[in-house]
């Protein structure tokens, strides 16, 4: 069996922190709505019930974060010379010679976590990528190689040249 050239894991903090903050916000909004309705109806909830409700929301957020961590920590991409294999909920094989355009983008949250999205148009999007620039240029070389734009000898020389320049700097 062929071994992958590179294995890419998703950025778990980039996934968990925004999802957890969203759940906390929604839980607080729901709690405030119920509290406001009961206040309008002149029904007073004892103070210890407020504490139990807040603790319940926190427990639910922590449980959801643990479930998301278990789910997303098993997601990974394997890079080969001619294809990209995604292992996650379903296994997906992307042939690099089918990629017509390669681009990357970052939103506000991605800038905070130093992550991004690599778009393999029209086939797939790789989300939550750490060090997007490095992975993008590596994937760009793989796509060029798979499409025949770079001969194998030149591809190997460019890698050695890039390694040489990185060592010199």
Looking at the fold, whether 58 and 25 belong to one and the same domain comes out as: yes
pLDDT category at 60 given cuts 50, 70, 90 is: very high
* Residue 153 pLDDT: 56
Same-domain check for residues 24 and 52: yes
Both 122 and 67 in one domain: the answer is: no
Q: How far apart (Å, rounded) are the C-alpha atoms in residues 74 and 89? A: 9
Does the pLDDT of residue 165 top 60, yes or no?
no
In a domain, 166, yes or no: no
Q: At residue 91, does pLDDT exceed 70?
A: yes
Looking at the 3D structure of the chain, how many domains does it have?
Answer: 2
- 85 and 141 part of one domain: yes
Same domain flag for 15 and 66: yes
Task: Please return the burial class of 99, using the count of CB atoms within 10 Å of its CB with bins 0-12, 13-18 and 19+.
Answer: buried
pLDDT value, residue 149: 75
Residue 121 placed within a domain: yes
Q: 68 and 110, same structural domain?
A: no
> Which range marks the domain in which residue 45 is found?
8-72
| Mean pLDDT, residues 88-97 | 92
Residues 99 and 135 grouped into a single domain: yes
Closest by CA to 150, choosing from 90, 52, 81, 100, is 81
21: pLDDT confidence band, cut at 50, 70 and 90?
Answer: very high
User: What are the two backbone dihedrals, phi and then psi, of residue 85, each rounded to the nearest 5 degrees?
Assistant: -115, 125
Taking alpha carbons only, the member of 104, 111, 154, 169 closest to residue 134 is: 104
**What integer is the mean pLDDT of 87-107?**
92
Q: 129 and 90 in one domain?
A: yes
Q: Are residues 55 and 112 in the same domain?
A: no
Q: Indicate whether 56 belongs to any domain.
A: yes
The pLDDT tens digits for 123-161 are 899 999 999 999 999 999 999 988 887 665 555 554 544
| Same-domain pairing of 44 and 87 | no
């Amino acid at each position: 069996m062929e071994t992958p050239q590179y294995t890419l894991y998703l950025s778990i903090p980039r996934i968990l922190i925004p999802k957890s903050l969203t759940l906390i916000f929604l839980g607080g909004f729901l709690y405030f709505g119920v509290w406001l309705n009961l206040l309008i109806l002149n029904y007073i909830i004892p103070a210890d019930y407020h504490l139990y409700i807040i603790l319940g929301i926190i427990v639910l957020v922590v449980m959801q974060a643990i479930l998301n961590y278990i789910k997303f920590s098993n997601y990974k991409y394997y890079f080969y010379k001619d294809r990209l294999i995604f292992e996650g909920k379903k296994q997906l094989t992307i042939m690099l010679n089918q990629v017509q355009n390669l681009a990357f983008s970052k939103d506000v949250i991605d800038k905070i976590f130093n992550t991004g999205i690599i778009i393999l148009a029209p086939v797939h999007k790789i989300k939550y990528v750490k060090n997007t620039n490095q992975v993008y240029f590596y994937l760009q070389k793989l796509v060029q190689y798979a499409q025949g734009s770079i001969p194998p000898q030149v591809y190997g020389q460019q890698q050695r040249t890039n390694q040489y320049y990185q060592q010199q700097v």
